[in-house]
């Protein structure tokens, strides 16, 4: 794959995937959701390139339980030089749940990356499919897809943010066209929808604190 093509990102409906995922249930889930996969050996630490100028790194339950090796991979991911937004998907399961707060702190507060918890590869494939098929400004069916945002998967992800219940999650998803836009929202934008205190919690969940002494 040429460097220019990689920089431009995949076309709408497609994903560049690291070759290591070829036989995974995550890839099968993406295919089942209508996403076309282009495998590539030279993505480096990145697992997936999405058409909405985002990259994805997947941290599995095994990665977390095995020790701190995943942290080195995350630092390399953060230091990757590109114009894409970097998103980290982290498996939050019964086995990894006790480690999740430490992982979240490292990803969000120490590295300043966006994090979304997933239940496993099936949940991850559904989330990535949603981002791929609804996150492109050039998508002529975007308005139709926006009406489908309040599905259980997306609602479940948003409600994982501390202080965000069902009502607030619905309000947020009615005002932001994708989870990516919610991650990118400023505290001021969020305040207009859920109030100042909740807006700060939501923003802090996805981003590094920048205030003095934080």
For the chain, what are the domain ranges?
A: 14-134, 152-207
CATH of domain 14-134: 3.40.50.10130
How far from the centroid of its chain's Cα atoms is residue 179's Cα?
A: 8
* 145-to-13, 100, 123, 148, 151 alpha-carbon distances in Å: 13, 31, 18, 5, 11
Closest by CA to 128, choosing from 211, 21, 43, is 21
Question: 76 is written with which tokens?
Answer: 């390399």
Are 88 and 116 contacting, i.e. CB atoms less than 8 angstroms apart?
A: yes
Q: Which CATH class is domain 152-207?
A: mainly alpha
Compute CA 102 distance to the chain's CA centroid, rounded to the nearest angstrom: 18
Please spell the DSSP secondary structure of 72-90, one letter per residue.
HHHHHHHT--SSSEEEEEE
Q: Find the length of the chain.
A: 214
Residues 6+ apart with CB under 8 A from 88: 56, 57, 58, 59, 74, 77, 107, 113, 114, 115, 116
- Left (φ > 0), alpha (ψ -120 to 50) or beta: where does 37 sit? beta
Can you give the pLDDT of all 214 residues of the chain as single tens digits?
445 556 667 888 999 999 999 999 999 999 999 999 999 888 889 999 998 778 999 999 999 999 889 999 999 998 875 677 888 999 999 999 899 989 988 988 788 788 888 899 999 999 899 888 875 444 333 333 344 444 566 677 777 777 787 777 777 877 776 677 777 888 888 888 878 888 888 888 776 533 434 3
Please name the residues in contact with 183: beta carbons below 8 A apart, sequence gap of 6 or more. Answer: 85, 87, 114, 116, 206
């Amino acid at each position: 794959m040429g460097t220019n093509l990689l920089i431009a990102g995949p076309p709408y409906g497609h994903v560049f995937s690291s070759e290591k995922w070829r036989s995974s249930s995550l890839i099968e889930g993406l295919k089942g959701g209508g996403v076309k996969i282009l495998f590539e050996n030279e993505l480096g630490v990145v697992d997936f390139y999405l058409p909405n100028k985002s990259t994805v790194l997947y941290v599995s339950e095994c990665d977390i339980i095995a020790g701190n090796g995943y942290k080195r991979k995350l630092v390399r991911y953060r230091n990757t030089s590109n114009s894409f937004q970097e998103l980290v998907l982290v498996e939050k399961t019964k086995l990894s749940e006790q480690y999740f707060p430490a992982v979240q702190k490292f990803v969000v507060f120490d590295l300043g990356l966006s994090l979304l918890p997933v239940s496993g590869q099936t949940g991850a494939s559904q989330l990535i499919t949603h981002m791929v098929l609804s996150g492109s400004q050039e998508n002529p069916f975007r308005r139709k897809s926006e009406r489908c945002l309040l599905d259980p998967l997306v609602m479940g992800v948003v409600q994982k943010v501390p202080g965000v219940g069902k009502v607030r999650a619905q309000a947020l998803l009615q005002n932001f066209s994708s989870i990516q836009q919610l991650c990118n929202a400023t505290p001021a934008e969020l305040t207009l929808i859920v109030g100042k205190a909740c807006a700060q919690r939501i923003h802090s969940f996805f981003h590094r604190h920048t205030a003095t002494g934080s």
